[in-house]
Structure 1
Amino acid sequence: MTVVTLAEARAKLSRLVKQVEDGSISEVVIVRNRKRAARLVPISDNRGAGQRLGLLAGRFAPMARDDFDADSRAIGELFTAIENKPKS
Structure 2
Amino acid sequence: MSTVNMLDAKTQLSKLVSAVESGEEKEIIIARNGKPAAKLVPLTTKGNSVRLGLADGKYPSMSLEEFDSMNEEIAKMFEGSE
The structural deviation recorded for 1:44 is 1.8
| 2:33 equivalent in structure 1 | 33
The structural deviation recorded for 1:34 is 1.1
> In the TM superposition, what whole-angstrom CA distance separates every residue of 1:17-44 from its partner, at most 9, and x where no partner exists?
0110010000000000111100000012
Moved over 3 A (4+): none
**Residues paired across the two proteins, number:** 46
How does 1:1-88 map onto structure 2 within 5 Å? Answer: 1-44=1-44
Distance (whole Å) between structure 2 residues aligned to residue 25 and residue 45 of structure 1: 18
Structure 2 unaligned blocks of 5 or more: 47-82
Distance (whole Å) between structure 1 residues aligned to residue 4 and residue 45 of structure 2: 20
Cα RMSD, aligned residues only: 1.7
Pair 35,45 (structure 1): closer, same or farther in 2 beyond 3 Å: farther
Percent sequence identity over aligned pairs? 43
The structural deviation recorded for 1:45 is 8.4
Structure 1 unaligned blocks of 5 or more: 47-88
TM-score, with structure 2 as normaliser: 0.53
Pair 5,45 (structure 1): closer, same or farther in 2 beyond 3 Å: farther
